[in-house]
Amino acid sequence: MSKTLACFGHPCAAVVCWRAERDRARPRCLVGVVRGSGSQAAIDVGEQPGPTSDEREELRREVRVLREEREILKKAAVFFAKEGESR
């Protein structure tokens, strides 16, 4: 197991690789998920630069609202284009 840990260089990788070996799955796919969540935790506590989980959630909300507004504007443009053609 220490060989696997050294291979991936992440403390959580040993657990993931052990499970992957036990289940005969590919460990590289699982390690990426573990590393991603560990990186986000490091960002949240200020050890690494980047948007925190709260900031990411706020950005997701803003994107959702902008997409909804864009759909409304598309429908309005179609409505007014049809109205202009009928005159």
Do 55 and 67 belong to one domain? yes
Q: Provide the residue-wise pLDDT of the chain in tens; the chain has 87 residues.
A: 444 444 455 555 555 555 555 566 555 555 555 555 578 888 888 888 899 999 999 999 999 999 999 999 999 999 999 988 876
> Whole-prediction pTM value?
0.52
Structure tokens given for 10: 């992440």
Do 22 and 35 belong to one domain? yes
Do 38 and 71 belong to one domain? no
Q: What is the pLDDT of residue 82?
A: 92
Do 24 and 7 belong to one domain? yes
Residues 84, 79: Cα–Cα separation, whole Å: 9
- The whole domain housing 38 covers 1-50
Q: What percent of the chain has pLDDT over 90?
A: 37
Residues 2, 6: Cα–Cα separation, whole Å: 6
Do 30 and 71 belong to one domain? no
Residues 22, 48: Cα–Cα separation, whole Å: 33
